Amino acid sequence: MIQNRPGRYLLDDAGLTELRSFVDAGTLLAFDLDGTLAPIVADPSAIVIPGHIQESMARLCAMATVVILTGRGREDALSFLGFEPCMVVGNHGAEGLPGWEEREREFRELCAGWKQQLHLSLAGTSSGIFLEDKRLSLSLHYRNAAGRGEAFATIIEAIGALVPAPERISGKFVENVVPRGAPRKGRALLDTLRYLGTGRALYVGDDATDEDVFRLRNERIFGVRVGASSSTAADYYLKDQQEIDRVLREIIDILSHPSCDAA
């Protein structure tokens, strides 16, 4: 079993040197949305990518290949971006990958069935549980529940009773119901690299679902976790979400001054 190790801080001299030697115009730049480009807020429909982050992302989109890998539905994610990435892969990797169109139809049907079952099983249970229907996966949020422990237990029981059994992926005060066999973020990033004919990728994410990328431990992927964690598989970490601003500015600087010794 691969042991996790504490990541290294990205924004010190050593981390920035590594970033500079990894990133060039041919590097795929992939980002998670919630908690990475947008700060976490209590209402999932109220996220905002700050204007200066949108501007940096728009600049990067003009300089390199930018991809968004999000747990949100694609259309929902697109409505928040304010810039135009090369690709947006939604639903934790299950939506928007070329070649998966048939399976996506199957995933939609499964989710519609699970949604009906959840409406029945959660009716009358603890308040504050919010079901987000993302068509190819479902999210059961309990951040705003009066008793989070009780709400979490209710959600786990309800997901455990679903037929057929889904995959359950934990997130930040959310449990995600995902079709078995659907691509997750790790697979999605590798497929995207192949599809776009790109050799390597930088990936920045903040959540348990992003560990699916970090756990690949692939030398072609430079993984950065937003928020230090003793259990992350990411190579590097940022102290908090606000530091994404500096990361984007550093990458813009790297791409504006190409050197001969990039890896």
Ligand X SMILES: O=P(O)(O)OC[C@H]1O[C@H](O[C@H]2O[C@H](CO)[C@@H](O)[C@H](O)[C@H]2O)[C@H](O)[C@@H](O)[C@@H]1O
Name the site residues for ligand X (rule: CB under 6 A): 32-35, 40-42, 44, 47, 70-72, 132, 134, 139, 141, 143, 171-174, 176, 207, 209
Q: What are phi and psi of 95, to 5 degrees?
A: -125, 120
Q: Which residue lies nearer to ligand X by CB, 103 or 143?
A: 143
Per-residue tokens: 192: 């995207």
Q: Which residue lies nearer to ligand X by CB, 171 or 183?
A: 171
Q: What minimum distance in Å lies between the beta carbon of 244 and ligand X?
A: 12
Q: What minimum distance in Å lies between the beta carbon of 144 and ligand X?
A: 8
Per-residue tokens: 221: 């992927």
Strand order in the sheet with 167-171: 130-133, 138-141, 174-178, 167-171
> Counting Cβ atoms within 10 Å, is residue 40 exposed (0-12), middle (13-18) or buried (19+)?
middle
Q: What minimum distance in Å lies between the beta carbon of 257 and ligand X?
A: 31
Contact 170, 208 (CB under 8 A): yes
Q: Which residue lies nearer to ligand X by CB, 68 or 254?
A: 68
Which residue do the tokens 């309800």 mark?
158
Q: What minimum distance in Å lies between the beta carbon of 174 and ligand X?
A: 4
Per-residue tokens: 164: 């057929």
Sorted by sequence, the CB contacts under 8 Å of residue 160 that are 6+ apart come out as none
CA–CA dist 95, 80 (Å, integer) = 17
Q: Which residue lies nearer to ligand X by CB, 16 or 40?
A: 40
Q: Which residue lies nearer to ligand X by CB, 95 or 235?
A: 95
Q: What minimum distance in Å lies between the beta carbon of 135 and ligand X?
A: 11
Helices (H) and strands (E) in the chain, counts: 8, 11
Q: What minimum distance in Å lies between the beta carbon of 258 and ligand X?
A: 30
CA–CA dist 8, 81 (Å, integer) = 29
Q: Which residue lies nearer to ligand X by CB, 20 or 56?
A: 56
